[in-house]
Structure 1
Amino acid sequence: MAMSSDLQLRYWAVAALGFAAVLWVLGDALLPFVTGAAIAYFLNPLVTKLTRAGLPRALAVSVLMLVAIGSVVLSGLLIIPSVISQAVQFTQAAPELLERLQQFLSARFPNLQGVEDALQGSLAAMGEAIRERGAALAQGVWRSVSGLVSAIVFLVITPVVAFYLLLDWPRVVRGADDLLPRQHAPVIRDLAGQIDRSIAGFVRGQVTVCLILAAYYATALGLVGLQFGLAIGVVAGLISFVPYIGAIIGGVLAIGVALWQFWGEPASIGAVVAIFVVGQILEGNILVPRIVGNSVRLHPVWLLFAISAFGMLFGFTGMLIAVPLAASIGVLVRFGLAQYQASSLYRESMTDAPPQEDDHR
């Protein structure tokens, strides 16, 4: 006996509410498992390529996990402390930088003398706020991540979960496929394939693009000699998953620091500007088309909303699952719209619509 569509919808709604409830209650405890699953999903294509080349899956997983752990340890020892240190120094220098900005505006725009006091007060207050709260914010990023669970537990459980998921990935996929309702299995498989392509194209591709841009911006700004260049470059690269946001924020920070540091040296300031212009050309014309591709349809506004909403509701764990869920919801919405447009409701509404007169006679 076939289950009615209304009853099926209720079951799916109950499952979605149950998932949200579990995420709400166990969000902190789920963090290492979600992170491990994300790592496994990210590395699985590489494991598949190595196994097709003749390498046993267990050996391929072991090699990739060792490389990944080594990269994380190396970053933790060499890069992350420097980035945090420069971020703290930047917040301490913010009042002086903003004061220099106020002097520049006063010198270049003398007609603004009437609002100079208000401008100076606003910039001074902004600088003090950054200095007082910025250091705590920069240092709190790492504390907020490691404080969700014990750092030791997190660092131990995450690679173990990733290792076993990578090892059993084909079995997990077959098991999930066996649990699909037989009546809707073909449609669900097709939707799952679209979701996988969307997530893979965006997450795997965009993470790679962000890492390349972070390395480029940090290295280029460091070679120019820009103070806080490492921190600004890493931040600009890592937030480039939203188009133009990384370049805008990083460019404003870098150019502002360049004006403060290289005042009277137009060549150095121009070099900083050129770095971000080249970065945008590199991102838009080479990296994104070749690595991410044009098939991923995630609007930047929808992406920002998903990250903000899930981060506010479920903390850091919610931020981790925001992009995959946003991609999944996007695929389901497009599927629902296609079903609606193929339904009699949509077609009848088109049939019933009065014919429109041709204005181009």
Structure 2
Amino acid sequence: MSETRIRDRAVIIDQGFVVIQRWGIRIIVIAAALYVLGWAVGHTWVVWFPVALAILFATVLGPPAKALRDRGVPAAAAAGLVMLGFLAALGVLFSILIPQLVDEAPQIADRAAKGVGEVQDWLVNGPLPIESGQISNALNSVEDWLRDSAGDISSGVLSTIGVATNVIVNTVLILILTFLFIKDGHRFLPYVERLGGHRVGGHLRELLYRAWNTLGGFIRTQALVSFIDAVLIGVALALVGQPLWVPLAVITFIGGFIPIVGAFASGAIAVLVTLVTNSPQDALIILAVIIAVQQLEGNVLSPMLQGKSMNLHPAVVLMAVTAGGSMFGITGAFLAVPVTATVAEILRYANERIDTTLTTGGDPVAMTSTAPATASDPAAVEDEGGKQR
């Protein structure tokens, strides 16, 4: 007969505490590393801010530059033509829409503050009065903030790009970096692959390629979705006779680049301003339109245009925006989702390699990347003459 061995309970508990201790030390080390990384990024934000914006611009401008290169246009000329078109579009935007937004921003803030006051009066004195000091205090805080900010918004609308240093210096630096990224960015992945060597070069190339595609897809999709939202809401505002429909539509477009939070904030401003300038009925109409547009965006536009490329849960997006905004302000909220999507794509690739290793029994580092380097792939290796090999 086989003898049954009974393990002592104290040994099992002791082994459990050993595992907890081991993972506790790992978590502390990882948290310390993330803290040091955040500290370093915060103190060198003056460098990373223009680089990050230049990369975002390059993800949008890179495909047309590549299309020109495929038709035989030299890389420098293709980048120059794309940059000229980009600057022309910015010139039209700044000359037509932005001045109007800057001029009307104090009025929008003041009327939004009055709208908050009317909402507070309705909650207290309406058909279903609410006796809640917390609600009143919260609404009073929002109203005071909007009134205090009314004079500062017009001067601060264009100042977010100069958070770290002078606006002109940052703008010139961003434009130069964007041009260089468009001109020579297609040579970067082949260089990284050669630098990484046989074991890890292919993985680095594949990771960066996926991150680039995810980032570019997110920016292009958000721009298109935000534009559609701004057009639909702007038309609705114009139909109800809202005199500030153009700047409110611009605010809607800008807010669309900050998922969830931006749409909620810009929609709330549009409803509050309409409540003051028009009537409660018009405000309810705009609220219904905004809800319908958000449902169209969430259930039709984003899934159709973006598919599952992001694959981020709304809770993750909300936490990322909150964390980015808390640490780095408006720019952090804007960059939080692209950074989170890039990190998520890296984790997905690592998970794929682990699954491949479990099924094949191979070395996840030694295994080469399975993504082919094709003519449409920016990771396609080019020689000095620009020919693929």
In the TM superposition, 1:313-324 aligns within 5 A as: 313=327, 318=332, 321-324=335-338
In the TM superposition, 1:147-162 aligns within 5 A as: 147-162=163-178
Deviations along 1:181-230, whole A, 9 cap, x unmatched?
42122333333333233222222222332233234433442343224433
Q: Distance in 2 between matches of 1:38 and 1:97?
A: 36
Alignment partner, residue 319 of structure 2: 305
Shift of 1:44: 0.6
In the TM superposition, 1:142-221 aligns within 5 A as: 142-221=158-237
Does residue 46 (structure 1) correspond to residue 60 (structure 2)? The answer is no
Q: What SS does structure 1 have at the residue aligned with 2:198?
A: coil
Q: What SS does structure 1 have at the residue aligned with 2:203?
A: helix
In the TM superposition, 1:77-92 aligns within 5 A as: 77-92=95-110
Shift of 1:299: 2.5
Q: Distance in 2 between matches of 1:121 and 1:311?
A: 23
Shift of 1:127: 2.5
Shift of 1:68: 1.0
Contact 1:95 1:131 (8 Å CA) reproduced: yes
Contact 2:259 2:317 (8 Å CA) reproduced: no
Q: Distance in 1 between matches of 2:164 and 2:134?
A: 42
Q: Distance in 1 between matches of 2:171 and 2:235?
A: 28
Shift of 1:95: 4.5
Q: 1:33 to 1:316 in 2, by over 3 A?
A: farther
Shift of 1:69: 1.0
Instruction: Give the one of 38, 50, 56 matched to 1:32.
Output: 50
Q: What SS does structure 2 have at the residue aligned with 1:48?
A: helix
Q: Distance in 2 between matches of 1:301 and 1:121?
A: 27
Shift of 1:330: 1.0
Alignment partner, residue 354 of structure 1: none
Q: 1:276 to 1:313 in 2, by over 3 A?
A: closer
**Gaps spanning 5+ residues in structure 1: where?**
1-12, 345-361
Q: What SS does structure 2 have at the residue aligned with 1:168?
A: helix
Alignment partner, residue 357 of structure 1: none
Q: 1:100 to 1:327 in 2, by over 3 A?
A: closer
Contact 2:274 2:283 (8 Å CA) reproduced: yes
Contact 1:221 1:229 (8 Å CA) reproduced: yes
Shift of 1:138: 6.0
Shift of 1:20: 5.5
Contact 2:161 2:171 (8 Å CA) reproduced: no
TM-score normalized with structure 1 length: 0.74
2:275 corresponds to which letter in structure 1?
Answer: L
Equivalenced residues, count? 329
Q: Distance in 2 between matches of 1:342 and 1:174?
A: 24
Contact 1:239 1:246 (8 Å CA) reproduced: yes
Shift of 1:240: 2.9
Alignment partner, residue 65 of structure 1: 83
In the TM superposition, 1:1-361 aligns within 5 A as: 23-105=41-123, 108-109=126-127, 112=129, 115=131, 123-124=139-140, 126-136=142-152, 139-241=155-257, 244-263=260-279, 266=281, 268-269=282-283, 271-280=285-294, 282-284=296-298, 286-313=300-327, 318=332, 321-337=335-351
TM-score normalized with structure 2 length: 0.69
Q: What SS does structure 2 have at the residue aligned with 1:60?
A: helix
Q: Distance in 2 between matches of 1:325 and 1:31?
A: 13
Q: Distance in 2 between matches of 1:230 and 1:155?
A: 25
Q: 1:242 to 1:293 in 2, by over 3 A?
A: farther
Q: What SS does structure 2 have at the residue aligned with 1:303?
A: helix
Q: Distance in 1 between matches of 2:137 and 2:259?
A: 34
1:293 corresponds to which letter in structure 2?
Answer: G
Q: Distance in 2 between matches of 1:33 and 1:341?
A: 34
Q: Distance in 2 between matches of 1:60 and 1:32?
A: 22
Identity of aligned residues (%): 24
Contact 1:213 1:279 (8 Å CA) reproduced: yes
Shift of 1:118: 8.5
Q: Distance in 1 between matches of 2:41 and 2:208?
A: 21
Contact 1:91 1:134 (8 Å CA) reproduced: yes
